[in-house]
Chain A
Amino acid sequence: MTKSFDKTEWGLLLALPVLICLTFLLPAWVVNYIQVSLGTGLVALGVMIQMRAGLVSFGQGLYFCIGGYTAGLAGKFLGISDLFVLLVMGLLASVVIAFLLGFLLRRYREIFFAMLSLAVSMILFGLLSSTEELGSTDGFNLPQPTYLGWAPEGDLGETVLYVVTCVVTLGLALGLNRVLRSPLGYINEAIRENELRVEYLGTSAHRAVHITYVIAAAVSAAGGVLWAMALGHVDPEMTNWTTSGQFVFVSILAGTGNIAAPLIGTFLLEIVRVYAVEISPNTWQMILGTLMLLTIIFLPRGLWSLIASAKRKTAAPKASEIMEGN
């Protein structure tokens, strides 16, 4: 089994102990940003795997919100606070909804897919904003998470939640990497290149898009649950288009080259934002916007292309050295 692990997967496995050690090395506020970035990073991952198929989802916040609200509602009305149960419920809710919506969305591509996904997410935003029982736009608070009957308090509780977040996020990233390497992953890339040809080769593009859409939804919902548990609060802003836009922003900034890119990209963007706000509290968006523009102009394939090209360049001289017989 381990033989089939590629470099990325080894990297993800190695990252787990490193991330956990960071809780003891870095100040708590940085760890906090890592934690929330892992939650939102999962949603960016969902956007990214759809981008691989040439689909830009401008409404991924929908599933982010479904995850968060499922956890919140289960806590509020059913009194469930077990993180694992909440995760499963969030996943189930999102998979069911994505499966149904998938029949509609799988028929659209490009701007039509983007707009339709946006429209669906804004329907939920509208519904939640006018539901007074759920606190409307103010949202409501979530309970402290428990783990299979264990309820750690205070600092320990936070550390446990962080560790669980790391494990779940990296586990899902690993699974997604498998998806990208599976026939489905390659079909998606083929769909991006030439959908007609995919159909002629005997595969259903609709089916591939549908499955990808459901997987992306499930991952995003898991991100929503983890993020909401860390924050302790959910509100409809989670499914607003500005939130969804941020996930697309991250995916473009980080690039679709590697499964780790959106996770790292989310954290980097978060840190850049924090310092941008500190340097210039009134015009920090300008700093982020400039960064976005520069990335698009100079690194059209995202930040990950820097790492990818660095790798290629290290490989290149070695090959020539061998050729020369040194």
Chain B
Amino acid sequence: MASGKQAARSSAIRKSRHILMTATTLGLASVLAAAAPAQAEEGSVKIGFVTFLSGGAAGPFGVPARNAAELMIEAINAGSVPAPYASTGLAGKSIDPIFVDENSKQKNADYQKLVEKDEVDMVLGYISSSSCKAIAPEAEKAQKLTILFDCGTPQIFEEIVTDPQYTFRTGAHATMDNVAAARYLADTGAKTGSYAGINQNYAFGQDSWRDFSASMAQIDSNAKIAAEQFPKIYAGQYGSEISALLTSKPDVVHSSFWGGDMEAFVIQGSARGIFERAKVVLTTGETAMHRLGAQMPDGTIIGARGPHGDLAPESELNDWFRKAYYDRFGTLPTYPSYKMAQALLGVKAAADKAGSTDQDAVIGALKGLEWEGPSGKVSMALANGHQAIQGTAYGTYEFDKETGKASLVDIVRYDAECVNPPAGMNSIDWINSGFEGAKCD
């Protein structure tokens, strides 16, 4: 009896062990099989898209960028983008995308996986400056065409990869946002006797304030800094910072807050009257315009990190992009969407110009290229033709209570050469030199 039971049990154990072993073998086999290079579809261009699909930056940046990518890929493959992009695909080849989450600790390993396992023809992405710093040298090492579409740090081609061969950035870097903000204040005759800043305590916030305060010092040498506030990113509550700003009585408040933090600041700050007592400049305010509507006080100065969204110049391409985006996603495109569309159209323009999607041909054509994006002209003027410059614009917010529509008035446009340092010059040195060689109309 007992031994029978034991035999049954041991056979059961053996069986379960068997199952376990088989499962492990199968698992290993599938990993190895998957490790073998996947066959690329004939006649298509494989592009790896890396943006934030999770985490705090996904909502305001990553997902709008991915949405724009999906929209543009479909339109480019179908040939339904207005002229001069009406031909189908990239030099006739359709785009085959792979999306990857930028929210990962192993960004470089993920990049290598895209290049080697997925055999992408190019990688397009990266929102965080930290990612760009890590990826740019990796791209040069892997010798794979890599297009950074959004990240803002000027260091990429100034310090990290000083002689780029494979890395491009199709978005202008962050310096111009704050130089233009300071210029806009002067151009619209705002009172700038004293100014204060509230920026997030991380690289982008610190750089923004550094550039803005340096620009203000150049434009109005009598202006004084009334207060500097650096709350934690994603803090969400700014009661004490707003009190500090109010007691310092500044004429201007500068903020590079973005996403949820910016919306929280607008709602909390307007309730305490800071928008009435000071001119508030929101360098990324455009993303929240249509969401906040009446909650955003009139007279707020709004930027979009380039001439994007409501600041985009009127063109057939822009009208088409806004309509197509709205029809598909139910919201208007914000600047990350514009930057993604701009990058993809740049690639298309380069491939069409070269008549091929061969890496060397695309690189050759993209170098120093000028093309029209939905937000106007982009030119790869810096870093030996690898870094884009672009004009920018600022406007003043106005909400029409009758129609419930938000709009920007008093829009001032700045040429690329007016708000960007010339080739070979470090951003902060350029500002401190009194914008040497800036060409403004």
Residues of chain B within 8 A of A275, CB atoms compared: 34
- Stretch from B106-114, B177-185, B244-252, B298-306 contacting the other chain: B106-114
Proximity bits, B103-145, A CB within 8 Å = 1, else 0: 0111111101101110000000000111001100110000000
B17:A313 contact, CB within 8 angstroms: yes
Q: Report the Cα distance A270→B230, complex, angstroms.
A: 35
Q: Report the Cα distance A35→B17, complex, angstroms.
A: 31
- Stretch from B201-209, B218-226, B316-324, B398-406 contacting the other chain: B201-209
A281:B133 contact, CB within 8 angstroms: no
B281 to chain A, nearest CB (A): 21
Among A294-326, those with CB < 8 Å from B are 306, 310, 313-314, 316-317, 320, 324
Residues of chain B within 8 A of A310, CB atoms compared: 17, 20
Proximity bits, A218-237, B CB within 8 Å = 1, else 0: 00000000000011110101
- Check if B40 is an interface residue, CB within 8 A of chain A: no
Q: Report the Cα distance A141→B134, complex, angstroms.
A: 7
Q: Report the Cα distance A28→B141, complex, angstroms.
A: 13
Q: Report the Cα distance A78→B286, complex, angstroms.
A: 44
Known: A33-B109, A137-B130, A141-B160. A271 touches B203 (CB 8 A): no
Q: Report the Cα distance A148→B195, complex, angstroms.
A: 53
Q: Report the Cα distance A141→B133, complex, angstroms.
A: 7
Residues of chain A within 8 A of B202, CB atoms compared: 129, 136-137
B109:A243 contact, CB within 8 angstroms: no
Q: Report the Cα distance A132→B13, complex, angstroms.
A: 60
B10:A317 contact, CB within 8 angstroms: yes
Q: Contact check: which of A32, A270, A281 meets B99 at CB < 8 Å?
A: A281
Residues of chain A within 8 A of B20, CB atoms compared: 306, 310
A137:B106 contact, CB within 8 angstroms: no
Residues of chain B within 8 A of A28, CB atoms compared: 112, 116
Size band of the B side of the interface? 35 or more
- Check if B54 is an interface residue, CB within 8 A of chain A: yes
Among A7-27, those with CB < 8 Å from B are 26-27
Known: A27-B116, A138-B153. A232 touches B108 (CB 8 A): yes
A107 to chain B, nearest CB (A): 29
B203:A136 contact, CB within 8 angstroms: yes
B112:A29 contact, CB within 8 angstroms: yes
Q: Report the Cα distance A324→B10, complex, angstroms.
A: 14
A29:B113 contact, CB within 8 angstroms: yes
Q: Report the Cα distance A138→B202, complex, angstroms.
A: 8
A282:B130 contact, CB within 8 angstroms: no
- Check if A284 is an interface residue, CB within 8 A of chain B: yes
Known: A30-B35, A136-B202, A271-B31. A36 touches B106 (CB 8 A): yes
- Interface-central residue, B110, B116, B204, by most chain A CB under 10 Å: B110
B206 to chain A, nearest CB (A): 5
B275 to chain A, nearest CB (A): 27
A281:B101 contact, CB within 8 angstroms: yes
Q: Contact check: which of B35, B128, B210 meets A26 at CB < 8 Å?
A: B35
- Check if B39 is an interface residue, CB within 8 A of chain A: no
- Check if A140 is an interface residue, CB within 8 A of chain B: yes
Q: Report the Cα distance A258→B223, complex, angstroms.
A: 65
- Check if B6 is an interface residue, CB within 8 A of chain A: yes
Residues of chain B within 8 A of A141, CB atoms compared: 133-134, 137, 160
Q: Report the Cα distance A137→B290, complex, angstroms.
A: 30
Q: Report the Cα distance A306→B160, complex, angstroms.
A: 46
Residues of chain A within 8 A of B115, CB atoms compared: 29
Residues of chain A within 8 A of B153, CB atoms compared: 138
- Check if B294 is an interface residue, CB within 8 A of chain A: no
Proximity bits, A259-295, B CB within 8 Å = 1, else 0: 0000000000011011101100110110000000000
B133:A139 contact, CB within 8 angstroms: yes
A232:B105 contact, CB within 8 angstroms: no
B130:A237 contact, CB within 8 angstroms: yes
B108:A316 contact, CB within 8 angstroms: no
Size of A's binding interface in residues, CB under 8 A = 48
Known: A135-B203, A139-B130, A231-B134. A277 touches B109 (CB 8 A): no
- Check if B100 is an interface residue, CB within 8 A of chain A: yes
- Check if A146 is an interface residue, CB within 8 A of chain B: no
Proximity bits, A34-60, B CB within 8 Å = 1, else 0: 011000100000000000000000000
Residues of chain B within 8 A of A30, CB atoms compared: 31, 35
- Check if A159 is an interface residue, CB within 8 A of chain B: no
Q: Report the Cα distance A129→B31, complex, angstroms.
A: 38
Known: A29-B113, A285-B54. A235 touches B130 (CB 8 A): yes
- Check if B419 is an interface residue, CB within 8 A of chain A: no
B427 to chain A, nearest CB (A): 14
Residues of chain A within 8 A of B110, CB atoms compared: 274, 277
Q: Contact check: which of B10, B54, B117, B134 meets A233 at CB < 8 Å?
A: B134
Residues of chain A within 8 A of B47, CB atoms compared: none
Which residue of chain A is the closest to B50 with respect to CB atoms?
A: A281
Which residue of chain A is the closest to B37 with respect to CB atoms?
A: A27
- Check if B73 is an interface residue, CB within 8 A of chain A: no
B262 to chain A, nearest CB (A): 17
Residues of chain B within 8 A of A27, CB atoms compared: 35, 37, 116-117
Q: Report the Cα distance A232→B137, complex, angstroms.
A: 9
B201:A130 contact, CB within 8 angstroms: yes
Residues of chain B within 8 A of A139, CB atoms compared: 130, 133
- Interface-central residue, A129, A139, A320, by most chain B CB under 10 Å: A129
- Check if B53 is an interface residue, CB within 8 A of chain A: yes
Q: Contact check: which of B13, B105, B201 meets A237 at CB < 8 Å?
A: B105
Among A108-149, those with CB < 8 Å from B are 126, 129-130, 132, 135-141
Which residue of chain A is the closest to B103 with respect to CB atoms?
A: A285
Known: A40-B105, A141-B160, A237-B105. A320 touches B10 (CB 8 A): yes
Which residue of chain A is the closest to B116 with respect to CB atoms?
A: A29
Residues of chain B within 8 A of A281, CB atoms compared: 53, 99-101
Q: Report the Cα distance A126→B230, complex, angstroms.
A: 12
Which residue of chain B is the closest to A233 with respect to CB atoms?
A: B134
Which residue of chain B is the closest to A282 with respect to CB atoms?
A: B53
B133:A233 contact, CB within 8 angstroms: yes
Residues of chain A within 8 A of B160, CB atoms compared: 141
B17:A137 contact, CB within 8 angstroms: no
A6 to chain B, nearest CB (A): 23
B13:A316 contact, CB within 8 angstroms: yes
* Subset of 19 A-B contacts with CB under 8 Å: A27-B117, A28-B112, A29-B112, A29-B115, A29-B116, A29-B117, A30-B31, A33-B113, A36-B106, A126-B232, A129-B202, A130-B206, A136-B206, A138-B129, A274-B110, A277-B101, A282-B99, A310-B20, A313-B14
15 new A-B contacts, CB < 8 A, other than A26-B35, A27-B117, are A28-B112, A32-B108, A33-B113, A35-B109, A36-B108, A36-B109, A129-B201, A130-B230, A136-B202, A136-B203, A141-B160, A231-B107, A270-B109, A273-B104, A284-B54
The 6 closest A-B pairs by CB, nearest first: A233-B134, A137-B202, A136-B203, A138-B203, A29-B116, A281-B99
